[in-house]
Amino acid sequence: MADHDLLIIGAGISGLSMAHYAVQAGLNALVLERDNRAGGCLHSHRFASALDGFWLELGAHSCFNSYGNLLAILEATRALDRLQTRAKAGFRLFADGAVRTIFSQLHIPELLLAPFRLIGSKKAGRSVADYFGRIVGPRNYAAVFEPAFDAVICQPAGPFPADCLFRPRQRRQDAPRGFTFFNGLQTVADILAAQPGIHIELGRVAREIRRAGEEFVVRTDERDYSARHLCLATPVEVAAPLLRAEFPALADRLADIRTATVETVGVALPKSRLNLPPLAGLIGRNEAFYSAVSRDTVPDPAYRGFTFHFRPDSLDEEKKIARIADVLGVPRAALAAGNVIAKVNRLPALRVGHGDLIRAVDNLLAGNGLALTGNYFAGVAIEDCVTRSLAEFARLRNEGL
């Protein structure tokens, strides 16, 4: 007899939303998480005592009122009152060694033609560079839009499928347009993980998946877990090898999805040390970093924080800190162990034709009692993950979960 109705591997937003749907349906679900923290890319780092608990985001930073499935979960968990409107602050470009307004970098005559170029243009089957480059014009694309899109998905956006970048979704008028949560987006993960009926075991690395008759058996270093249904909510580069032994055709398809590495460094400083105006963030053009996301959208009385997302292998650790000090206009010595934190993030690097690949994956999944969720289906946004979990949960229910 299996231990659980549903075993979920990975406690990022994909796994946590899947667990939410399972618990709401009265099922017995268990989540196994490799780290000693739930949240994955929802990761608000809290600095130790010298910085009075000041936090900044090492991963995702913004949610929007178009995130309808996420908002529905937050409503069901009575968490909407902890939602925090993001303060208004704009993005600027950091280009040629200086902070510049986006408007100052636009080529306006070229942009005036954009509404006409939009008529009849379709995103399907086209890359970001091809689709948006034609609409905004080559000068605007190179000077503003390409660096901005790179910053949005923390990787070179040019070859990314245009229809996976900004997905049109209905906006909820009763929620702020852009929001985070009290103490950052980690709070979303903490709320979902604390729901009655959700069981999460932290520090459990899924090493192997086997089928034993009608059941799945997942091996970890500590013990084996069994369940009638299994959901993999890990990054794609983890899902592919885990599926290799029992689902080789599925593993082959997933292995075709590449991933991009982001080297993230967050720094916190007393407000008095910085002369930069309030910012949502800086977009790097021809820079070692894609973006520097600011905490100014959730202002703190004493500190400011910036999370730099660096291109992989562009600078070593010391050079990254020196570059951050330069960009922020502070002495190198102002950035020390106590106010600097680093993390490596990975995100799927989707390519044109991704829709066909996912259709093939879904065909291979059907009828196996196995679900796949994550940020490598419709797109990388938090809402894309929750939407995938909802669809996969519905499919598993149809398959007898």
Ligand X SMILES: Cc1cc2nc3c(=O)[nH]c(=O)nc-3n(C[C@H](O)[C@H](O)[C@H](O)COP(=O)(O)OP(=O)(O)OC[C@H]3O[C@@H](n4cnc5c(N)ncnc54)[C@H](O)[C@@H]3O)c2cc1C
Could you say whether residue 147 binds ligand X (CB under 6 A)? no
Considering only 96-104, 117-125, 130-138, 381-389, which stretch makes contact with ligand X by CB under 6 A?
A: 381-389
- Comparing CA positions, the residue from 284, 275, 345 lying closest to residue 304 is 275
Distance CA 123, CA 136 (A): 14
Q: Toward ligand X, which CB reaches closer, 135 or 175?
A: 175
Considering only 33-41, 102-110, 266-274, 349-357, which stretch makes contact with ligand X by CB under 6 A?
A: 33-41
What is the layout of strands, in order, in the sheet containing 83-85?
63-64, 178-181, 83-85
Distance CA 231, CA 148 (A): 34
Considering only 54-62, 81-89, 170-178, 248-256, which stretch makes contact with ligand X by CB under 6 A?
A: 54-62
Considering only 45-53, 161-169, 311-319, 380-388, which stretch makes contact with ligand X by CB under 6 A?
A: 380-388
Single-letter amino acid code for the residue at 23: V
Considering only 48-56, 60-68, 134-142, 194-202, which stretch makes contact with ligand X by CB under 6 A?
A: 60-68
Q: Toward ligand X, which CB reaches closer, 35 or 399?
A: 35
CB atoms within 10 A of CB 53: 11
Binding test (CB under 6 A) with ligand X, winner from 227, 238, 265, 365: 238
Binding test (CB under 6 A) with ligand X, winner from 4, 12, 147, 321: 12
Q: Give the count of alpha carbons within 13 A of 169, CB side only.
A: 24
H helix intervals, 195-333: 236-243, 248-255, 317-328
Single-letter amino acid code for the residue at 124: A
Which residues within the stretch 111-140 sit at the binding site for ligand X (CB under 6 A)? none
Strand 340-349 to 178-181 pairing: unpaired
- Comparing CA positions, the residue from 185, 194, 188, 190 lying closest to residue 44 is 185
Which residues within the stretch 324-353 sit at the binding site for ligand X (CB under 6 A)? 345, 347
Could you say whether residue 375 binds ligand X (CB under 6 A)? yes
Binding test (CB under 6 A) with ligand X, winner from 23, 73, 129, 262: 262
**Chain residues that interact with ligand X, rule: CB under 6 A:** 9-15, 32-35, 40-42, 59-62, 154, 205-206, 233-235, 238, 262, 264, 309, 345, 347, 374-375, 380-382, 385
